[in-house]
Amino acid sequence: MTTPIPTPFDIIEPSPGALVPTVTAWLALVIASLIVCAVIAMRRRAPRAKSINARLQKLVDELRSVAAHTRTPQELERLARLSRRIISPYMTSEVSGMSPGDLRVAAATLSKKADDKDTSLSEAILLLATIEEQAYAPCESISNASALSGSIETLVTSLENHVRRFRPL
């Protein structure tokens, strides 16, 4: 037994050991992380406001096209839902679950303020409440189509002017 028993390092080469990064490697890592943070910050900033205004403008265009051929209670309901979607970014409370009576109360609250934005919005909300009352009324009461079409046209014009003049909350 003159030959010693082989150890694992006799069979394979040992690894070089722990990797110690140099100053250049640390500097490259810091620069890369700063660039990533700057790119993320730039992407979050501007497009959001533009996208809300673009969506509101698309909704107003769709509202205009729906208002042009509103004849049935279902079309009136669609017009009311579109109007609520346009109004909701301007309100602090949720508009989608409000009844026409609740809409009138919200409009009265807004009209007490001296702000042009709130006054303009309160007029649109009052028109929406009137149209919704007629939309959910029995079918015989929709026979007064001329007054209803005038209210619809006034609502659409009011919402168009409001979206054009004021930014959402």
Query: Distance between CA atoms of 133 and 5, rounded to whole angstroms?
Result: 97
Contacts of 142 (CB under 8 A, 6+ apart): 73, 76, 134, 148
Distance from CA of residue 148 to its chain's centroid? Answer: 29
- Which of 132, 133, 124 has the alpha carbon at shortest distance from 154? 124
Contact 158, 112 (CB under 8 A): no
Please determine, for residue 113, whether its predicted confidence score (pLDDT) is greater than 60: yes
Tell me the per-residue pLDDT of 54-63, one tens digit each, with 9 for 90 and over. 888 899 999 9
With cut-offs at 50, 70 and 90, classify the pLDDT of residue 33.
very high
Tell me the per-residue pLDDT of 95-105, one tens digit each, with 9 for 90 and over. 888 888 899 99
Please determine, for residue 169, whether its predicted confidence score (pLDDT) is greater than 70: no
Query: Distance between CA atoms of 137 and 107, rounded to whole angstroms?
Result: 21
Instruction: Count the neighbouring beta carbons within 10 Å of the beta carbon of residue 105.
Output: 13
With cut-offs at 50, 70 and 90, classify the pLDDT of residue 52.
confident
- Which of 73, 88, 53, 71 has the alpha carbon at shortest distance from 135? 73
pTM attached to this predicted model: 0.66
Q: Calculate mean pLDDT across residues 129-140.
A: 74
Please determine, for residue 26, whether its predicted confidence score (pLDDT) is greater than 90: yes
pLDDT at 25: 94
pLDDT at 47: 57
Please determine, for residue 146, whether its predicted confidence score (pLDDT) is greater than 80: no
Contacts of 164 (CB under 8 A, 6+ apart): none
What tokens were used for 116? 């042009």
DSSP code for 7: P
Query: Distance between CA atoms of 37 and 33, rounded to whole angstroms?
Result: 6
Contacts of 21 (CB under 8 A, 6+ apart): 29
